Structure 1
Amino acid sequence: MKYFAALAPMKDAQKSKEYRQQHLDFLKDQREAGNVFMYGRFTDGTGGLVIYQGESAEAVEEIVRRDPYVTSGARHFEIHEWDMQTDYTIQS
């Protein structure tokens, strides 16, 4: 299983507010299904970040495209594979 960071920059603040609960319900369901590792909003109001778990970027993108924030046009998205470090060793 790989990790993917899905950045969700703000596109429409009003739609973001309107679809917030549906978005949070979606993330809860995806977390229960084992597809979401963690998530949260940016404190400056510019969007948020979701760390997904999946086999490929394409598989994660299929999930992200179903997020109510994306389907409503409230947010853009950008996906990057994330190499989570657990040993906290500084690598040069």
Structure 2
Amino acid sequence: MKSYVVFLKMLDPQKSEEYRQQHLDFLSQKRKEKKVFANGKFLDGSGGMVIYMANSEEEVRNMVTEDPLINEKARDFEIYEWEMVTNAIIPD
């Protein structure tokens, strides 16, 4: 399993707020599926970041394009494969 950082750049703050709960529900489901390791917003309002766990960038892209914030064009996204270094215990 590989780690991918996805930056969710703000495009439309109003739409972002409108679809926020659906976005959080989506991430919660992906977390239950052990596909999301962590997520959070940037405090300057510029967007947020999600760390996905997947076998390929294509798998991540498929998940990201299901996110309501992406579907509703509230956010744009960039995907980066990431070599995570941590002492944290990563869930199975």
Q: Distance in 2 between matches of 1:8 and 1:76?
A: 6
Written as runs of structure 1 = structure 2, the 5 A alignment for 1:1-92 is 1-86=1-86
- Any idea what the Cα deviations from partners look like across 1:37-58, whole Å, max 9, x if unmatched? 0000000000000000000011
Deviation at 1:64, TM superposition (A): 0.2
CA RMSD of aligned residues (A): 0.7
Aligned residues: 87
Among all aligned residue pairs of Structure 1 and Structure 2, give the percentage whose two residues are the same amino acid.
51
- Greater radius of gyration (CA): 1
1:24: Cα distance to partner? 0.3
Q: TM-score, normalised by structure 2?
A: 0.93
AA matched with 1:35: K
TM-score for both structures, normalised by structure 1 = 0.93
Distance (Å, rounded) in 2 between the aligned partners of 1:37 and 1:55: 14
Letter in 2 for 1:28: S
Q: Match of 1:86, as an amino acid?
A: T
- Structure 2: runs of 5+ lacking an equivalent: 88-92
SS at match of 1:39: strand
